[in-house]
């Protein structure tokens, strides 16, 4: 097998200030503790989890039945992964001791042959591996592997890593191309990405081969899930194999279909395998699926998955705002996919989408205190409709303490706490900076080392100070965001013109200590329109500034947001405000329709165009909505 690395994640990056430090501290200070309480059913009035209790029952330490979903184990693994990143970032002896205790609880449930899944250990091992399509054994295994690798890299401790390695050996003995094995693949992908991380840590090609097998085998005839259904005399739960992205081999798939989270995880694993094996056909499939996802099926907030039915993609340009699903996990999955596409080929297009999702559709899933969460992330909310319209019951207008199906909160924690892994990639002596955050970059074996100063995303000024001990030749490639129409670039105070390739300005020089680079993006308020194919948004605009999408909220603009109009050629003002954790507000000229009293008892009538009155519209960043009580919200406004 031809093995290569492609662009590597810059693991020598840190985030130590600014916008993202606040979020990371919230996760480390509040989120980790809060989730641990949730996993142990210690949050009053929250949906029960039973997660850690399941492990104790599976190990014989307690008596009882399995609680929660078939994938309940994965919540503990995602919690451990987030803990690992927090320890890596700032260290915490108490947190590490708690994690070690949790790992021992998990390890105690492992079976003599390496198997570990509490649902089947408690309910009957004779049924294991009989329902790869729906019962998430490989999904849970994938999250265990990701946690094990992260914890080993953060602490050097092998306990969970050894548990994961034993489980992977068991999986290899059961599933694969050889005669006598199951020729299956996961119903919910994630193990593909996880195995690639395991391969990068261990260098053992059997992990690469298994990841590649899962990717290559998916959708091959005879369809494994269909054959599995026949053995169980079961009809397919969702009607078609598109729901599982198993309707055809992955290299033949051209549209993002089915369950949106599964799709994003699958495509991420495909990109990992394509990069390491240098598989051009698989790379091409990733590009095709990326283009369809981001150019025809993605919201302005970076959310993906437009329909509640199956938590899924629907069809091109179908992007309803008030019935959108937009699962937090799906936006997180898009970030995973984007980072891996950047490793295939550094291009600002991928980083732009990663940034869009992070600042909007991802962090909207958590309140500013890190204790309440959205599963669904709508772009328009009318609370009464959410309560009374059964088609909008899934759109909850206020964040919840926890969920019975709690995949999103721990997913948020593990992404936010690992965010330095998304800042930059390096390849062949070039450092590609993809996200701008206050901190440090240390790449190319220490040859390119910079301190980054910025108040991004509130301000477009980024300063990089070289910290390299010795002069070193290298290329610093800085992403110019797709939304930016004008920028300035200076080196040591002198304006420079640098070549741009794939959306990066490239500075090649012998870098020495105290070299200073200043990149300043012009950051005006932008009125953004959707392609006319998107029927929901015709005649409407969304306000954006920098990477942030803004929205109207009832708390600032009163009710009946549907009666408001934006004056797109009017004046806009930006103002830093000491509210919602410290944000930049946008105020803009607008109008509000005057509703005549004659309409009180009339549903339809001949009438002139309604009169309007001037009204100042106040917009807040979309991620911050629903932090001030129940009310209407809208991203898109008539113009």
Lowest-confidence segment of 241-245, 330-334, 401-405 by average pLDDT: 401-405
Q: Tell the CATH topology of 425-521.
A: Immunoglobulin-like (2.60.40)
Q: Considering only CA atoms, which of 475, 530, 474, 534 is closest in space to residue 502? A: 475
Tell me the pLDDT band of 398, cut-offs 50, 70 and 90.
very high
pLDDT tens-place string over residues 569-583: 999 999 999 999 999
Indicate if the pLDDT at residue 593 is higher than 70: yes
Q: What does the DSSP 8-state code read for residue 373? A: B
Please list the active-site residues. 311, 407
Lowest-confidence segment of 110-119, 178-187, 467-476, 492-501 by average pLDDT: 467-476
Tell me the pLDDT band of 2, cut-offs 50, 70 and 90.
low
Its sign, for the CA torsion 176, 179, 181, 184, is positive
Tell me the pLDDT band of 402, cut-offs 50, 70 and 90.
confident
Indicate if the pLDDT at residue 48 is higher than 90: no
Name the strand (E) or helix (H) holding 148: helix 137-155
**According to the model, what pLDDT value does residue 42 have?**
93
**Dist CA 389 CA 203 (whole Å):** 53
Q: What does the DSSP 8-state code read for residue 70? A: T
Lowest-confidence segment of 42-51, 72-81, 461-470 by average pLDDT: 42-51
Indicate if the pLDDT at residue 139 is higher than 70: yes
**Dist CA 273 CA 92 (whole Å):** 34
Q: Which two tokens stand for residue 441?
A: 């970059």
Lowest-confidence segment of 31-35, 61-65, 558-562 by average pLDDT: 31-35
Q: Tell the CATH topology of 8-422.
A: Glycosyltransferase (1.50.10)
pLDDT tens-place string over residues 76-92: 999 999 999 999 999 99
Indicate if the pLDDT at residue 3 is higher than 70: no
- Report helix, strand and coil shares of the chain as percent, to nearest 5: 40, 20, 40
Q: Considering only CA atoms, which of 137, 131, 142, 101 is closest in space to residue 117? A: 137
Q: Are strands 472-479 and 430-433 parallel, antiparallel or unpaired?
A: parallel
Its sign, for the CA torsion 483, 487, 490, 495, is positive
Mean pLDDT (the chain, rounded): 96
Domain ranges of the chain: 8-422, 425-521, 534-638
Tell me the pLDDT band of 61, cut-offs 50, 70 and 90.
very high
Q: Give the residue-averaged pLDDT of 374-394.
A: 97
**Dist CA 42 CA 53 (whole Å):** 12
How many residues comprise the chain?
Answer: 639
Phi, psi of 419 (to 5 degrees): -65, -25
* Fold: same for 8-422 and 425-521: no
Lowest-confidence segment of 157-171, 230-244, 378-392, 576-590 by average pLDDT: 230-244
Residue with tokens 């995880």: 265
**According to the model, what pLDDT value does residue 240 have?**
87
**According to the model, what pLDDT value does residue 237 have?**
62
Residue with tokens 């989270």: 261
Higher-pLDDT residue of 406, 616: 616
Q: Give the residue-averaged pLDDT of 38-63.
A: 93
Q: Give the residue-averaged pLDDT of 162-170.
A: 98
**According to the model, what pLDDT value does residue 152 have?**
98
Contact call for residues 221 and 172 (beta carbons, < 8 A)? no
**Dist CA 128 CA 151 (whole Å):** 27
Q: Which two tokens stand for residue 557?
A: 């603009």
Q: Are strands 540-545 and 637-638 parallel, antiparallel or unpaired?
A: antiparallel
Contact call for residues 539 and 321 (beta carbons, < 8 A)? no
**Dist CA 99 CA 36 (whole Å):** 10
pLDDT tens-place string over residues 318-343: 999 999 999 999 999 999 999 999 99
Tell me the pLDDT band of 5, cut-offs 50, 70 and 90.
confident
Contact call for residues 488 and 495 (beta carbons, < 8 A)? yes
**Dist CA 401 CA 67 (whole Å):** 19
Q: Which two tokens stand for residue 195?
A: 């195995």
Name the strand (E) or helix (H) holding 349: helix 348-356
Indicate if the pLDDT at residue 236 is higher than 80: no
Indicate if the pLDDT at residue 1 is higher than 70: no
Name the strand (E) or helix (H) holding 340: helix 328-344
pLDDT tens-place string over residues 351-371: 999 999 999 999 999 999 999
Indicate if the pLDDT at residue 234 is higher than 80: no
Indicate if the pLDDT at residue 313 is higher than 80: yes
Tell me the pLDDT band of 634, cut-offs 50, 70 and 90.
very high
What does pTM read for this prediction? Answer: 0.97
Which value, in Å, is the radius of gyration of the alpha carbons in the chain? 25
Indicate if the pLDDT at residue 598 is higher than 70: yes
């Amino acid at each position: 097998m031809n093995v290569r690395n492609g662009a590597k994640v810059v693991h020598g990056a840190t985030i130590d200030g600014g916008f993202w430090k606040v979020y990371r501290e919230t996760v480390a200070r509040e989120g980790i503790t809060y989730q641990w309480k949730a996993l142990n059913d210690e949050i009053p009035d929250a949906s029960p989890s039973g997660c850690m209790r399941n492990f104790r029952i599976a190990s014989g330490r307690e008596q009882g039945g399995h609680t929660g979903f078939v994938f309940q184990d994965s919540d503990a693994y995602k919690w451990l992964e987030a803990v690992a990143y927090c320890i890596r970032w700032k260290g915490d002896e108490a947190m590490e001791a708690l994690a070690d205790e949790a790992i021992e609880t998990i390890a105690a449930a492992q079976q003599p042959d390496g198997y570990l899944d509490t649902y089947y250990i408690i309910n009957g091992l004779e049924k294991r591996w009989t329902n790869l399509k729906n019962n998430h054994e490989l999904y849970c295994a994938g999250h265990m592997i990701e946690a094990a690798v992260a914890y080993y890299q953060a602490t050097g401790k092998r306990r969970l890593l050894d548990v994961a390695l034993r489980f992977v050996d068991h999986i290899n003995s059961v599933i694969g191309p050889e005669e006598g094995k199951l020729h299956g693949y996961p119903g919910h992908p994630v193990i593909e990405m996880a195995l690639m991380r395991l391969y990068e840590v261990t260098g053992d090609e059997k992990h690469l081969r298994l990841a590649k097998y899962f990717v290559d085998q998916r959708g091959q005839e005879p369809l494994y899930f269909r054959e599995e259904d026949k053995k169980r005399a079961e009809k397919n739960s969702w009607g078609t194999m598109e729901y599982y992205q198993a309707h055809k081999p992955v290299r033949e798939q051209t549209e993002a279909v089915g369950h949106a989270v599964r799709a994003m995880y699958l495509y991420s694993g495909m990109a990992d395998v394509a990069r390491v094996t240098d598989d051009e056909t698989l790379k091409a499939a990733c590009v095709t699926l990326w283009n369809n996802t981001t150019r025809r099926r993605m919201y302005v907030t970076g959310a993906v998955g437009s329909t509640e039915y199956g938590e899924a993609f629907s069809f091109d340009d179908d992007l309803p705002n008030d019935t959108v699903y937009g699962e937090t996990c799906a936006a997180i999955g898009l970030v995973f996919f984007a980072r891996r596409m950047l490793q295939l080929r550094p291009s600002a297009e991928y980083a732009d989408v990663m940034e869009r999702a992070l600042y909007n559709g991802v962090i909207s899933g958590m309140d500013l205190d890190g204790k309440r969460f959205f599963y669904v992330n709508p772009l328009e909310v009318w609370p009464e409709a959410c309560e009374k319209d059964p088609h909008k019951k899934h759109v909850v207008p206020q964040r919840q303490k926890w969920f019975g199906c709690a995949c999103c909160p721990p997913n948020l924690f593990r992404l936010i706490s690992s965010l330095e892994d998304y800042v930059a990639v390096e390849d062949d002596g070039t450092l590609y900076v993809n996200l701008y955050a206050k901190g440090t970059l240390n790449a190319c074996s220490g040859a390119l080392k910079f301190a980054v100063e910025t108040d991004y995303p509130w301000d477009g000024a980024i300063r990089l100070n070289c910290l390299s001990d010795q002069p070193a030749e290298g290329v610093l490639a800085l992403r110019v965001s797709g939304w930016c129409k004008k920028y300035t670039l200076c080196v040591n105070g002198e304006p420079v013109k640098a070549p741009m390739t794939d959306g990066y300005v490239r500075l090649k020089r012998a870098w020495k200590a105290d070299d200073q680079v200043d990149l300043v993006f012009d950051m005006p308020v932008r009125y953004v329109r959707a392609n006319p194919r998107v029927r929901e948004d015709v005649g409407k605009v969304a306000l954006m500034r920098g990477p942030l999408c803004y929205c109207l909220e009832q708390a600032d603009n009163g009710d009946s947001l549907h009666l408001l109009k934006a004056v797109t050629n009017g004046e806009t003002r930006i103002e830093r405000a000491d509210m919602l954790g410290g944000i930049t507000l946008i105020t803009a000229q607008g109008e509000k329709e005057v509703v005549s009293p004659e309409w009180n008892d009339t549903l339809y009538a001949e009438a002139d165009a309604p009169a309007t009155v001037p009204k100042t519209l106040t917009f807040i960043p979309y991620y911050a909505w629903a932090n001030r009580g129940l009310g209407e919200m809208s991203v898109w406004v008539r113009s």
